[in-house]
Amino acid sequence: MKKHELLIIADYSQETSLTLNELCEVCQISSDYIHDLIEYEIIHPRDKQQEEWVFELAELKRIKTTLRLQRDLDVNLAGAVVVLDLLEELEELRAQLEFMQKHF
């Protein structure tokens, strides 16, 4: 079976956020899946009211990572939350290490 990776190419140089419909279109996912991602706190809309949901562009990375975890490793959404948290912590630690190496 061939594995396909989602490649997101978009020019949002003037945009800083996406609506629910735009996010679904760019990521090629359903709004139900977006609801699941919000329920598991994988992504976070700016507003609490669904009619006004707007998402930061940074959410694209979290969605892409979640989709890859599910596709490649068969990780459920609860597991994706743990992996995403660990990846963010690793990123922060690497940034701290780099800062310390440059300044000490």
The answer to whether position 5 is within a domain reads no
List the beta bridge partners of residue 35. none
The answer to whether position 63 is within a domain reads yes
DSSP structural state of residue 52: G
Confidence of residue 95 (pLDDT cuts 50, 70, 90): very high
Question: What angle, 0 to 180 degrees and rounded to 10, lies between the N-to-C axes of helices 20-27 and 31-39?
Answer: 100
- Average pLDDT of the chain is 90
CATH number for the domain that contains residue 57: 1.10.1660.10
Measure Cα distances from 65 to 27, 31, 91, 96 in Å.
11, 18, 14, 23
The answer to whether position 11 is within a domain reads no
pLDDT digits (tens, 9 = 90+) for 62-81: 999 999 999 999 999 999 99
Residue type, 88: E
Domain span holding position 72: 17-103
Confidence of residue 96 (pLDDT cuts 50, 70, 90): very high
- pTM for this model (two decimals): 0.79
Alpha-carbon distance of 60 to 38, in angstroms, equals: 13
